[in-house]
Amino acid sequence: MTVLSVNVNKVAVLRNSRGGGEPDVVQAARACLDAGAHGITVHPRPDARHIRADDVYALAELTREYGVEFNLEGNPFAPPRPGYPGFVTLCDQVRPAQATLVPDGDAQLTSDHGFDFVRDGEALRPLVAELKAFGCRVSLFADAHTVPEQSRIECAAECGADRVELYTGPYAEAFGRADEAAVLSRFAGAAARAGAAGLGVNAGHDLSQANLGRFLGGVAGVQEVSIGHALIGEALYAGLAATVRGYLAIIAAAERGDG
Ligand SMILES: CC(=O)[C@@H](O)[C@H](O)COP(=O)(O)O
Ligand SMILES: NCC(=O)COP(=O)(O)O
């Protein structure tokens, strides 16, 4: 079974655009869990552009209350700074069920590549061990669209990881293009090589209701998908009609004098 972990970063983007507490990240996460989502993901960035440390603490509480997976993503090599204690410290503080390590930087608009396990392996190994000692399952963000000799995904196992998360941005870009099947078969091959090395397989980035079905149909054994950007955007479309009707009802009631 593939579990769905909803990434609520984008709720925090909206909240931070005005200051204050609305929309409320915890309330949004609660709505996702009440609808049946299997877990919650956040990827706090050191520049606090969306999820902040206080959100991490609150969501850790919420996921504990629901007894579901909390998946905390981040770059373990980014140094702490005011308001961001560092990824490993955050994991120590909240003990997420899953820690997903991602090699990103502040200058990146969003995550756009996985680790080079051969180059980064030595640095990753002690961090993976430390996170596992906190009781976290550890997943490493991995490229899957490159040729096998480049991605070397199976080397994630030598870092001590439990899982890899296939970076699905390149699949989302190829979706509907002539090379979609070829790209998807690279993902299927990477997932199979990871599985053969004893790694579980997660996937995420730019997955959506449009492209998810064909991805899961083409890549066997995906244990978890984490989805945020498209899901929150789609939720606006799905929720706008009911919300507008709610406002119109309030205006009509006020005009009738029973508002
Ligand atoms: C690792 C990954 O693909 C997601 O966490 C993605 O990075 C979302 O982060 P942003 O919401 O900051 O784009
Ligand atoms: N790990 C991927 C994730 O959490 C969500 O990515 P996206 O759907 O916001 O692109």
Q: Residue 82 sits in a domain of what CATH number?
A: 3.20.20.70
Residues 69, 145, 205, 224: which is the catalytic one? 205
Which residues on neighbouring strands pair with residue 81, listed in sequence order? Answer: 84
What are the beta bridge partners of residue 40?
A: 6, 70
Q: Given this model, what pLDDT does residue 150 score?
A: 61
176 CB burial (10 A radius; 0-12, 13-18, 19+) = exposed
At residue 118, the pLDDT reads 87
Q: Report yes or no: 39 and 69 within 8 Å, Cβ to Cβ.
A: yes
Q: Is 165 a catalytic residue?
A: no
Q: In sequence order, which residues have a C-beta less than 8 Å from that of residue 58 and are 6 or more positions away?
A: 25, 26
Instruction: Report yes or no: 234 and 208 within 8 Å, Cβ to Cβ.
Output: yes
pLDDT of residue 131: 98
Beta strands in the chain, from DSSP E residues, in sequence order: 3-7, 39-42, 69-74, 98-101, 137-142, 163-167, 200-204, 224-227
The predicted pLDDT at position 149 comes to: 62
C-alpha dihedral (180, 181, 184, 186), degrees to nearest 10: -110
Atom of ligand 2 nearest to the CA of 9: 9
Residue 17 CA to residue 50 CA, distance in Å, equals 9
Assigned token pair, 121: 């392996």
β-bridge mates for residue 6, sequence order: 40, 227
pLDDT by residue for the chain (259 residues), tens digit each?
999 999 999 999 999 999 999 999 999 999 999 999 999 999 999 999 999 999 999 999 999 999 999 999 999 999 999 999 999 999 999 999 999 999 998 889 999 999 999 899 999 999 999 999 999 999 999 999 776 666 689 899 999 999 999 999 999 999 999 999 999 999 999 999 999 999 999 999 999 999 999 999 999 999 999 999 999 999 999 999 999 999 999 999 999 998 7
Residues 199 and 154: their CA atoms lie apart, in Å, by 8
Q: What is the pLDDT of residue 53?
A: 98
Q: Which domain holds residue 240?
A: 3-256
For CA atoms 127, 169, 71, 90, give the dihedral sign: positive
Dmax (CA) of the chain: 72
ipTM for the whole complex = 0.97
* Cα–Cα distance measured from residue 56 to residue 159, given in angstroms and rounded to the nearest whole number: 26
Protein residue with its CA nearest to atom 3 in ligand 1:
205
The per-residue DSSP string of 193-256 comes to HHHHTT-EEEEESS--TTTHHHHHHHSTT--EEEE-HHHHHHHHHHHHHHHHHHHHHHHHHHHH
Is 229 among the annotated ligand-binding positions?
yes
Rounded alpha-carbon distances, angstroms, from residue 122 to 80, 112, 140, 166:
21, 22, 14, 21
The predicted pLDDT at position 57 comes to: 98
**CA-closest residue to ligand 2 atom 1:** 204
Q: Is 73 marked active-site?
A: yes
- Number of domain units in the chain: 1
